[in-house]
């Protein structure tokens, strides 16, 4: 989503949000950085697009501010790693997709190579069906481990933010 789309979505719901405020939150690390995406056509440049998760984070920021937390407290105690976690999630997805595409491309280059011609196929950058299955299995395990790592980081973040919420409630 572009900044303009995010601002418009908030305005439609009666929530005031300016592009300047949105960009300030990005600058402070409360929201994820945009991903530059080229526009079709000659000399059209690129556009910064934000993940949909930025909307959820914006809602969380507004909710916390409504409860009396300052931007500094939110930055320090609540969303101190949220943007980094979202970027980690996107990076892991991109890595997985790149490996998956590479395995598929090597399989297609294989041209049906099987056990007897595996050495020739590997020399040509192709892989046999047995090797392809092994690679997909290893990739699946790596993805599971990445998701597990991500969930552990999220759990740590939630534990730390709960502690900050409770400390604020006591005050």
* Res 101: pLDDT: 94
| Residue 167 predicted with pLDDT over 70 | no
Query: Domain boundaries in the chain?
Result: 1-79, 81-171
* Res 134: pLDDT: 94
Q: Which fold has domain 1-79?
A: Multidrug-efflux Transporter Regulator; Chain: A; Domain 2 (1.10.1660)
Q: Lowest-pLDDT range, 87-91, 104-108, 113-117? A: 113-117
* Res 68: pLDDT: 87
Mean pLDDT of 98-126: 67
The residue among 76, 25, 72 whose CA lies nearest residue 50 is 25
* Res 80: pLDDT: 67
| Residue 89 predicted with pLDDT over 80 | yes
Structure confidence by residue, pLDDT tens digits, 30-70 = 888 888 776 666 666 667 888 887 888 888 888 888 888 88
Q: Please name the residues in contact with 110: beta carbons below 8 A apart, sequence gap of 6 or more.
A: 121, 126, 127, 128, 129, 132
pLDDT-derived band at 170 (thresholds 50, 70, 90) equals low
Q: How far is Cα 75 from Cα 137, in angstroms, rounded to an integer? A: 39
Q: How far is Cα 103 from Cα 56, in angstroms, rounded to an integer? A: 34
Structure confidence by residue, pLDDT tens digits, 107-117 = 887 655 454 44
């Amino acid at each position: 989503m572009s900044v303009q789309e995010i601002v418009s979505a908030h305005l439609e719901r009666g929530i005031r949000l300016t592009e300047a405020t949105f960009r300030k939150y990005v600058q402070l690390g409360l929201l994820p950085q945009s991903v530059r995406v080229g526009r079709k056509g000659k000399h059209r440049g690129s556009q910064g697009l934000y993940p949909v998760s930025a909307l959820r984070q914006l809602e969380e920021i507004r909710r916390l501010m409504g409860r009396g937390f300052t931007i500094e407290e939110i930055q320090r105690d609540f969303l101190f790693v949220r943007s980094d976690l979202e970027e980690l999630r996107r990076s892991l997805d991109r890595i997985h997709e790149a490996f998956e595409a590479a395995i598929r491309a090597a399989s297609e280059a294989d041209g049906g190579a099987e056990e007897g011609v595996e050495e020739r196929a590997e020399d040509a950058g192709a892989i046999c069906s047995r090797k392809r299955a092994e690679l997909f299995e290893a990739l699946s395990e790596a993805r599971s481990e990445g998701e597990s790592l991500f969930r552990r980081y999220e759990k740590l973040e939630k534990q730390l933010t709960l502690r900050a919420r409770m400390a604020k409630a006591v005050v």
